[in-house]
Structure 1
Amino acid sequence: MVFVQRWRVITAFALVGAATQLVWLTYAPVTTVAAEHFGVSESAIGWLANMFPLLYVVLAVPAGIALDRWFRPSLIAGAVLTAIGAALRLLDGGFAMVLVGQTVVAVAQPLVLNAITGIAGHYLDEKDRPTGIAVGTASTFAGMAAAFVLGAALPEESQLITLTAIGTIFAVLAAAALTVELMRAGTGPTASTSTSVVALRATLGDRYVRRLCVAVFFPFGTFVALATFGQALLEPSGVSADAASIVLLVNVAAGVVGCAVIPVAVLRRGIELPAVMVGLTASAAACLLVALAPGLATGFLAFVLIGATLLPALPIVLAMAERHTGAAEGTAAGLIWMTGNLGGLVVAGLTGLLVDQPALAFGLCATTTILGVPLALRLRREETVATA
């Protein structure tokens, strides 16, 4: 009975994780239509999504500290704020209120995503934690995929309110489910007795955690860059916008499957860093393939490979951080997410400058991805020395 209750908590958390991403990307697939509906520029609509990584960089560490000290209240706050922010977008139908709602969800997002390792650590046995972390991470990419699917299914201006309402209903139901399950399950392990400042200093001073953060900077940036500019980069090779949307959707779907399956097998066999290096190498090769031979077939193959091999690196790294830091897993996860989002801003920014030169842009993504390999190799050597 306890086992089932614990997994109900994980399932409810996964729904909230998916909700944050669904709300984040509500307007991304229908940018042009949304701009016409609200009477603003497409750039303004873009900021409804772009504010999320920006605020994550600022709020990741404070959210991680809050989760380390007050895990259950902080996570419930994140879920409830996500539901409130989603609902605010429906109040008056104007852009200003939509912007306010998206901002509230962007503030809540770090409280949810930073808890991926904590929810597993608080409510699952050690042997089940890799699976819990994999499920939590996969749910975020499933939310992204759902946003793209709904955008494709409801592309008209007259359907925009329906599109927003679906995300809102999902967020409200997910928040209610997680709140109920967390209250039923109790607090989990006792919170850390160390002060927030002490936990932060210890985590920042941990060389292993710092290297984990650096290792995700470039690969995470590559994924964000390709998700942002994939359609524009494939277009010059004759790939239509509709075909590119399918490619990007399959990319995320492959990531969902990869995140749900690969980390569990890898962590149980203790081959985390070799698996990360293989994934980074395969993803870099995929970027190079589409740089040298652009087209629908190569683009489809490359993006599927990237989704299946690059995205699972994130739950693997998060699980490594949880295992290494213990009670400070929220702070460590916050640092990793912050670094990844910062990498997304940097690599996507550089890729955007090369959007009219797809070969160079894909080459840049290949380079930034392969840079993670020597960083992972250094971590492996450090683990070998530590266990010698």
Structure 2
Amino acid sequence: MQIRSRWSAIVGYSLVGAATQLVWLNFAGVTTVAAERYGVSESAIGWLAQVFPLLYVVLAIPCGLVLDRWFRGGLVAGAVLTALGAVVRLIGDDFGWLLAGQIVASIAQPLVLNAVTGITGRYLHVKNRPTGIAIGTASIFAGMVIAFLLSAVFTTASSLPAMLVVTAVFCVAAAVVLIVALYTVQAPFAAVGSSRPDRSALAAAWGDPLIRRLCVLAIFPFGVFVAMSTFAQALLEPAGVSGGTASTILLVNVVAGVLGSATIPILVVRRRAESALLVISLSATAAACVLLALAPGAFTGFVAITLIGLLLLPALPIVLELVERRTGEAEGTAAGLIWMAGNLGGLIVAVVVGLLVDHPVAAFLVMAAIALIAVPGARVLRRPIAELRSQSQL
């Protein structure tokens, strides 16, 4: 009798994945009014988001090792800490409590995001895992959409506490759903002997040439996406694009990424076209950045940045699906390496583009060049991916 997939665990995970991004980006669309309410600079409000990628780079590997050793406990800890961080922000109406809550939630983020391959590997049949990874990853991007929508609803300084309450309720509910799912549904595909020593898990992940290639590759699309999301408004402003229009463009960009991440990877895996999709997405991203450099404006911004979201964000679930197939018991550590590389790329490229923020043409061309640099690396993945597919069919 064939063992059935347990989709309730994926639903719970998806809610918590969205919750991490909601807490992370709560203030992205209301930076100015938040600075006014809490009596700090806009730069200080920016740090409420920046602590997440900074701590992710530090904690990605340790959290991956925790998940490989104690998967359910590690993931539950991530869900609880996310909810706790959201609740801590309600204790006092000042910046100190906001920062404390953000730090708690940022510690939780790698425990949750690193688990996307582990949850699918333990609760879904092999044939359903690409779909599970696509859904789990799309939910992470969906959390960004929710954050942008809340910032569009709660636009005044006096309404920010209500936004924090809504966020906390969502995070607590998501944690409860996941915990109930994990403790009432047995993991039918849990690996036997998954309590391998930590160093062995790290060696298994980093010692794999394909995983190392994927880590290097992840730096580039992550970097371009983070830099574009961070500086699109400032780079398009000289072309007459208002802040409201730029925010709408970025929202459409993420929505396109959610839809693309939930659908494109499933089709790509079925057609065995992972390498081709990565090449196409990177090339299209480079072309879109060149278009923005040569003809910036509201229309070209919508077209180019939406295309980037639609094609570039699905690269993440495709890479994570390859990691899940490749690593087995060390998938938490391997996923941590991918996320760490991506966040590192985001920090580096964002810094470079930030230095060029007063020179939009140069900034867009730099992002185009960064995307193009990764194309040869995506192309050479065709052979190792084919070998991985043949091994999995044995």
**TM-score, normalised with respect to structure 1:** 0.97
Give the unaligned 5+ runs of structure 2.
none
Counterpart of 1:267 in structure 2 is: 269
Give distance in 2, aligned partners of 1:166 and 1:193: 38
Give distance in 2, aligned partners of 1:290 and 1:352: 16
Equivalent position to 1:296, from 290, 298, 302: 298
1:5/1:271 CA distance change after superposition, 3 Å: closer
Q: Does 1:108 align with 2:92?
A: no
Kindly report which structure 2 residues correspond to 1:172-321, keeping only aligned pairs within 5 A, or say none. 172-188=172-188, 189=190, 190=192, 192-321=194-323
Residue 193 of structure 1: how far off its partner (Å) = 4.0
Residue 183 of structure 1: how far off its partner (Å) = 0.2
Q: Is the 8 A contact 2:4 2:125 kept in 1?
A: no
Give distance in 2, aligned partners of 1:382 and 1:186: 34
Counterpart of 1:57 in structure 2 is: 57
Give distance in 2, aligned partners of 1:383 and 1:105: 35
Give distance in 2, aligned partners of 1:3 and 1:207: 33
| Structure 1 counterpart SS, 2:292 | helix
Q: Does 1:138 align with 2:143?
A: no
Residue 382 of structure 1: how far off its partner (Å) = 3.8
Q: Is the 8 A contact 1:71 1:191 kept in 2?
A: no
Residue 9 of structure 1: how far off its partner (Å) = 1.0
Q: Is the 8 A contact 1:69 1:191 kept in 2?
A: no
Counterpart of 1:355 in structure 2 is: 357
Counterpart of 2:23 in structure 1 is: 23
Q: Is the 8 A contact 2:5 2:125 kept in 1?
A: no
Residue 187 of structure 1: how far off its partner (Å) = 4.4
Q: Which amino acid aligns with 1:47?
A: W
Give distance in 2, aligned partners of 1:195 and 1:283: 41
Residue 194 of structure 1: how far off its partner (Å) = 2.2
Q: Is the 8 A contact 1:72 1:187 kept in 2?
A: no
Q: Which amino acid aligns with 1:67?
A: L
Residue 381 of structure 1: how far off its partner (Å) = 3.6
**Residues 135-169 of structure 1 deviation map (CA, whole Å, 9 limit, x = unaligned):** 01000111001111110111100100011111111
| Structure 1 counterpart SS, 2:380 | helix
Equivalent position to 1:375, from 369, 374, 377: 377
Give distance in 2, aligned partners of 1:381 and 1:362: 32
Give distance in 2, aligned partners of 1:266 and 1:159: 43
Give distance in 2, aligned partners of 1:3 and 1:288: 50
| Percent of pairs with identical residues | 57
Number of residue-to-residue matches in the alignment: 387
Kindly report which structure 2 residues correspond to 1:311-350, keeping only aligned pairs within 5 A, or say none. 311-350=313-352
Give distance in 2, aligned partners of 1:116 and 1:86: 21
Residue 270 of structure 1: how far off its partner (Å) = 1.4
Give distance in 2, aligned partners of 1:383 and 1:314: 15
Give the unaligned 5+ runs of structure 1.
none
Give distance in 2, aligned partners of 1:3 and 1:17: 26
Q: Which amino acid aligns with 2:346?
A: G
Residue 283 of structure 1: how far off its partner (Å) = 1.2
Residue 191 of structure 1: how far off its partner (Å) = 5.0
Give distance in 1, aligned partners of 2:10 and 2:79: 13
| Structure 1 counterpart SS, 2:203 | helix
Q: Which amino acid aligns with 1:49?
A: A
Give distance in 1, aligned partners of 2:258 and 2:292: 22
Give distance in 2, aligned partners of 1:103 and 1:36: 21
Residue 85 of structure 1: how far off its partner (Å) = 0.5
**TM-score, normalised with respect to structure 2:** 0.96
Q: Is the 8 A contact 1:117 1:133 kept in 2?
A: yes
Give distance in 2, aligned partners of 1:191 and 1:151: 46
